[in-house]
Structure formats: C-alpha cells, structure tokens
C-alpha cells in the first residue's frame, strides 16, 4: 500500500534540518501511518486518503539552466513542484515559492485541505520524533555508540537535550491533532470525508475525559 508522506516531506514539515539523516524514515513511515490510522484517524478515512493520492507527473530533477513553462513539473529535494509562470529559469523551487507551487498530493479537495492544514505536519513530526534516538545512538560491535557529530563541529545531543526536543515535538503533535479533530467534526460532511465524530482513542479537545492515543 502507498504511504501518505515521503521522507523528503518529513524533512520539509518537521523540525529536522535539510541535512538530517533520513535512513530511519523509510522503515518508520509505514508503521507510524498504520498506528495513527488505528488509534486516531480511523482506517476508513486513512484508506480513503490513500485512494485519492494523485499520480505524480513525469518530471526530472530541477535544472537551473532549464527554462520552465507554466505548468511544467520539476523535482527538487525529492518533492515535485509545478511552475507558476513561463520562462521560469534559475529560480530554485525551494527558494522561490511564488514561482513554484507544490504538486497537489490528492485529487480530492477535502483530502488536500486536511493534508495541508494538519496531517502532513502531524506525520512529519511523529516520524522525526521517533527517529531521533536511533539516529543519535546506534548499536555496533562495541555495544551502543553515540554519533559524535560531523566535520563542521556539530555534536550529538545528550539525553536531556533529546528529551527537550521530543517534548516539544509531542506538544506540537498534540496541538495539531486536537485542531484536526475539531476541524474534522465540523467539516467532514461538507468535505465529503468518511469520518466518525468519535476517534477510537483520542477524544475531542476540551472535554473532561480527553485521552490521547500517542505512542512513541
């Protein structure tokens, strides 16, 4: 089954920097999506989203020497962009958002809105947060080893620093998920989305018995 988010989208929409290693992402993404569908989003809505994924246009890596026409597609950092003007040359899609737009991920407007407002941020943060520990500490012949950093002088975060980063990511996930639940309850009918007003585990924010079904 196709996944909703890609490793490159995790980099763009989480707290990760552009040089953050993505080796853990490919294994984490399907597991995290399956879990989130089960504990909060609902399998029916998740399957509906997957069924509405758009087919990516045929495109090559963005080339600064190529002049792109309106509607042309190009790939930059693993993401597909659509040119918003003719004679679009030398304008990096990552640096000139007015000249390029993200290729719309879904053929359904309601799915696209849900994705852009909430879901891509939630999934990106969940994948990023789950990848922090195995990316920083690895097991080898000598047991658990710590990534000491790179030639630019950066070092790996210590246990307390990683905890602070994870705590911030989890708070953002909870906030965004709470907002998503309220939005879905208000809009799922008008957006024609198959959604039940009660999540399986996570309850609507503001209620006394709120429970969040997050696992990390």
Domains in the chain, number:
2
Buried b (16+ CB within 10 A) or exposed e, 22-38: bebbeebbeebbebbbe
C-beta separation of 70 from 84 below 8 A: yes
Amino acid 204: pLDDT: 41
CB-count exposure of residue 84 (10 Å: 0-12, 13-18, 19+): middle
Give the lowest-confidence range in 18-22, 119-123, 134-138. Answer: 134-138
Helix (H) or strand (E) holding 75: strand 73-76
Asked if 169 and 127 sit in the same domain, the reply is yes
Question: pLDDT grade, residue 213 (50/70/90)?
Answer: very low
Question: pLDDT grade, residue 214 (50/70/90)?
Answer: very low
Asked if 146 and 159 sit in the same domain, the reply is yes
Asked if 30 and 116 sit in the same domain, the reply is yes
Amino acid 168: pLDDT: 87
The secondary structure of 129-191 as a DSSP string is HHHHHHHHEEEETTEEEE----TTS-----HHHHHHHHHHHHHHHHHHHHHHHHHHHHHTTTT
Q: Which domain holds residue 151?
A: 7-54+108-187
CA-CA distance, 139 to 76, in Å (whole number)?
Answer: 33
Average pLDDT of 114-123? 96
Average pLDDT of 78-94? 94
CATH number of the domain within which 87 lies: 2.10.10.20
Residue 198 lies in a domain: no
For residues 192 and 148, the model is more confident at 192
CB-count exposure of residue 16 (10 Å: 0-12, 13-18, 19+): buried
Closest CA to 100 of 119, 121, 79, 118: 79
Residue 77 lies in a domain: yes
CA-CA distance, 126 to 173, in Å (whole number)?
Answer: 7
Q: Is 81 helix (H, G, I), strand (E, B) or coil?
A: strand
Mean pLDDT of the chain: 83
The model carries a pTM of 0.80
Distances (CA, A) of 127 to 6, 36, 70, 90, 176: 10, 11, 34, 33, 15
Asked if 50 and 61 sit in the same domain, the reply is no
Asked if 86 and 22 sit in the same domain, the reply is no
């Amino acid at each position: 089954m196709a996944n909703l988010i890609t490793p490159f989208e995790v980099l763009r929409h989480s707290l990760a920097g552009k040089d953050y290693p993505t080796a853990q992402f490919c294994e984490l993404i399907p597991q995290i999506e399956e879990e989130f569908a089960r504990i909060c989003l609902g399998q029916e809505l998740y399957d509906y989203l997957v069924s509405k994924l758009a087919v990516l246009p045929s495109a090559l890596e963005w080339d600064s020497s190529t002049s792109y026409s309106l509607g042309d597609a190009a790939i930059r950092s693993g993401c597909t962009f659509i040119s918003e003007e003719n004679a679009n040359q030398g304008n990096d899609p990552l640096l000139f958002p007015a000249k390029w737009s993200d290729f719309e991920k879904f053929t359904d407007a309601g799915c696209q809105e849900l994705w852009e407002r909430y879901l891509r941020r939630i999934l990106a943060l969940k994948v990023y947060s789950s990848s922090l520990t195995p990316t920083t500490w690895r097991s080898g012949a000598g047991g658990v080893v710590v990534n000491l950093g790179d030639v630019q002088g950066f070092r790996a975060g210590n246990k307390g620093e990683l905890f602070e980063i994870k705590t911030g990511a989890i708070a953002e996930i909870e906030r965004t998920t709470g907002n998503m639940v309220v939005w879905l309850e208000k809009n799922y009918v008008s957006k024609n989305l198959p959604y039940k007003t009660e999540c399986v585990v996570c309850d609507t924010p503001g209620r006394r018995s709120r429970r969040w079904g997050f696992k990390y």
